[in-house]
Structure 1
Amino acid sequence: MARACSFLPAATEIVKALGLEASLVGATFECDAPPAVPRIVRSALEGRTLTSGEIDEAVRSAAAAGETLYRIDEPLLREAAPDVIFTQHLCGVCQIGTATAEAAVADWASPPRIVPLVPHTLEEVLACIGTVARELGAPEAGERLLASLRARLAAAAAATEGVPRVEALFLEWIDPLFRAGHWIPDQIAAAGGVDRLAVPGGRSGALSWDDALALDPEAIVVAPCGLTLEQAAAEARASLAGRPGWSGLRAVAAGRVYAADANLFTMPGASLVDGVELLAALFHPKRFPLPERLRGSFVRL
């Protein structure tokens, strides 16, 4: 089995879902990897509890200064001696980029393979699962996992077929407000919903409150990347409830405003299917009962 360093939590999650944790010889400070796996990627924000506004300011300040929030412990990387490094260059805010990983091994006599995982859609996320499995020498594990995930997606689609789609608003960030992008619109669609302010396959971006009011969604889901569920719920209550027109929104009147575990939406791995199942249960509770394992993954606001 190949020795792998995962420079993004999504890759680590995929490796675990494949049952190939033994291949990991390095991970990031955010990865849910076994304790014995060295944390090779570190961050200037590590160990700090910040609000979404404070994180936004830190990111903007670093960008303005031409700096990065992430660094590679290069001696530890050499000691790990990976055969392959999984990276990304989809978002310079969320994780370290491919170019930084390439620079870190440029002078090695036999550098590891650098394998970027840069999906934009749900289908491309599933393709990345196959890529990771093949790179680790276990294509059959990838085929088994993908078959299971596709069966679950098909079950969600079948349960919500023939019913009106729920008009939803998905917020990826709170301060400032960000609409949903990349694969999240696919998740919403797979769960029997539609978000007309989202950007399918594209980058998330700032959202005006006037646009949110004009949409007047039937359901609102808040899942900011990098915040815990408790943080997201507290910030959402403080930030949204006082906005003009909030109490008049259909979602608020119906009690259909939720904070959700961001890992089910912003981390492009097998858990995105959990996110689809959560949304299907929130959008169509009579058609798709909430799986027991997801009961702690959301809070009603």
Structure 2
Amino acid sequence: MGKVSKATITTSCRLRAADAAAASDKRAIKLPSSSTMSPSAAAGNATATASRIISVLPSATEILCLLPGFDKLLVGRSHECDYPRTIRDRPILTGQKTTFTTSADVDRQVSEALSQGSSLYTLDIPQIQQLKPDMILTQDICDVCAIDLQTVQRVAKGMKPSPTVLTLNPASLRDVLVNIVEVGDAVGASKEARAIFEDLVRRVKAAEQWSLANVKQRPNVAFIEWVDPIFYGGHWTPELIELAGGYHPLNTILKSSTDSLPASHWVKQPVPTVPVRTITRGDCAATSTYATDYTKSYRIQPTTLVATHPEILLIAPCGLDIDTTKRELRLLLDRADAWWWQLNPRPKRVILMNGNHHFNRPGPRLVDALEFVQALLHRPDLLPRFASKEYTDKDGVGFPYEELDLGYWFDKANFVGKAPKQP
């Protein structure tokens, strides 16, 4: 997800649940439940591996690159696949048709394109054909987040031989982590993928266990995925907040801010067994192993947000870095009737975060985001970790955030009528 490209097409966040069934036909290939192969060995295994992989989904790219050595098999990527840095030299195969101007204008562009049935992306079909992939990683959960699945399938079916199309459709944090195992199985790195999966599950359970043991009163948190208009956090985002010990009232499975997550959630659940699945060459293998108890992200009216009296605003617009988010806030605050000025009482804290790399991208770094939110809400002694080498030496991205000075940001004299020039 590039800063501009992701923001350009994600403002409406029109997510939809994907069908759980995996496609299959007489060409289906059975994937083994576990095996260990090096990339070179994987390349020669016709039953479960690939030697030339294209990813048009940033989170899938991150998952593939978590598997030791498998980043070398990536031969093409989307314009949004920017992590880790080592893959930025691979050919870019997608592009965007919209242009990022302002949050409100992007929402208009996306709405108009979708109402006309227009695609929001371009796909470089000749280059894909030249690259001759034997596997393409994509998604079918979000109508505006990436190139549509039907286009990818059509291209794959037109190639000889047809590459496998593996589509990842996570609706929850557990789905996201299971996707790691599914990608690992597909490329012949089952053992490595399961080890990564189990470590991430351990960290999630540790965070929830801490919340269960220590949090009696959950702070009221509003996660804002877009500022103009307001889109409220959905899918895995409210789950992260409530696992961390927060309360996300407009998208929650809790009865109140003093409630605990049900016993069926993470702490008392065993590590799930990921079943052997069927992947079809030239077609789609759709994955949605677990249902989510939370809803998708959705647009809300300012009065709805104001009525919840949020104590903490977490703002991470999809695809925007912190500097761009601050610029968008200034444009919003230029209006005397903006929802920001209606918050009464004003929040106790407002934190801006990187909506491009964290929270909105359904990959393994969601667990970092969970630990960050828990530190932010309840464990301030752990916050220095997120500015430490532990979080910055992986790829130089780190875990940036900025807490706003409320005295300044809630003073109308600093903003109304003083918006920066629009691009």
TM-score by length of 1: 0.91
Corresponding position: 1:248 with 2:350: no
Distance 2:171 2:384 in 1: 27
Corresponding position: 1:7 with 2:103: no
User: Does structure 2 retain, via aligned residues, the 8 Å contact 1:264–1:272?
Assistant: yes
User: Does structure 1 retain, via aligned residues, the 8 Å contact 2:321–2:353?
Assistant: no
Match of 1:236 in 2: 329
Distance 2:92 2:198 in 1: 31
Letter in 2 for 1:248: N
Distance 1:115 1:260 in 2: 30
SS in 2 for 1:114: strand
Distance 2:181 2:94 in 1: 24
Corresponding position: 1:257 with 2:308: no
Deviations for 1:199-238, whole angstroms, at most 9, x for unmatched residues? 6543211111111111111211011112122111332354
Distance 1:18 1:189 in 2: 29
Deviation at 1:17, TM superposition (A): 2.3
Distance 1:209 1:170, change over 3 A: same
* Moved >6 Å (runs of 4+): none
Corresponding position: 1:146 with 2:197: yes
Deviation at 1:175, TM superposition (A): 1.3
Deviation at 1:296, TM superposition (A): 4.8
Letter in 2 for 1:203: K
Deviation at 1:257, TM superposition (A): 0.6
Distance 2:312 2:130 in 1: 49
Letter in 1 for 2:173: L
Task: Say which of 76, 80, 88 aligns to 1:26.
Answer: 76
Distance 1:191 1:234 in 2: 29
Distance 1:145 1:240 in 2: 43
Match of 1:297 in 2: 400
Distance 1:240 1:142, change over 3 A: farther
SS in 1 for 2:220: strand
Larger proportion of helix? 1
User: Does structure 1 retain, via aligned residues, the 8 Å contact 2:156–2:165?
Assistant: no
Where do 5+ consecutive residues of structure 1 fail to align?
none
Task: Say which of 354, 361, 365 aligns to 1:267.
Answer: 361
User: Does structure 1 retain, via aligned residues, the 8 Å contact 2:63–2:364?
Assistant: yes
User: Does structure 2 retain, via aligned residues, the 8 Å contact 1:172–1:179?
Assistant: yes
After the TM superposition, which of the residue ranges 238-247 and 13-22 deviates more from structure 2? 238-247
Letter in 2 for 1:58: Q
- Within 5 A, what are the aligned runs for 1:65-84? 65-84=116-135
Q: CA RMSD in A?
A: 2.1
Distance 1:201 1:26, change over 3 A: farther
Deviations for 1:232-279, whole angstroms, at most 9, x for unmatched residues? 13323542685365463352xx2x111111121110000111111121
Distance 1:150 1:69 in 2: 35
Corresponding position: 1:184 with 2:256: no
Letter in 2 for 1:129: I
Distance 1:102 1:49 in 2: 28
Distance 1:240 1:18 in 2: 44
Corresponding position: 1:175 with 2:224: no
Task: Say which of 307, 315, 320 aligns to 1:227.
Answer: 320
SS in 2 for 1:195: coil
Match of 2:280 in 1: none
Deviations for 1:11-57, whole angstroms, at most 9, x for unmatched residues? 11111222321121111011025133111122224xx5432222212
SS in 2 for 1:193: coil
Distance 1:89 1:79, change over 3 A: same
Match of 2:181 in 1: 130
Match of 1:213 in 2: 306
Corresponding position: 1:41 with 2:135: no
User: Does structure 2 retain, via aligned residues, the 8 Å contact 1:26–1:39?
Assistant: yes
Deviation at 1:189, TM superposition (A): 1.2
Distance 2:345 2:330 in 1: 15
Distance 1:296 1:186, change over 3 A: closer
Where do 5+ consecutive residues of structure 2 fail to align?
1-41, 43-49, 253-292, 393-397, 405-423
Which has more radius of gyration? Answer: 2
Letter in 1 for 2:345: L
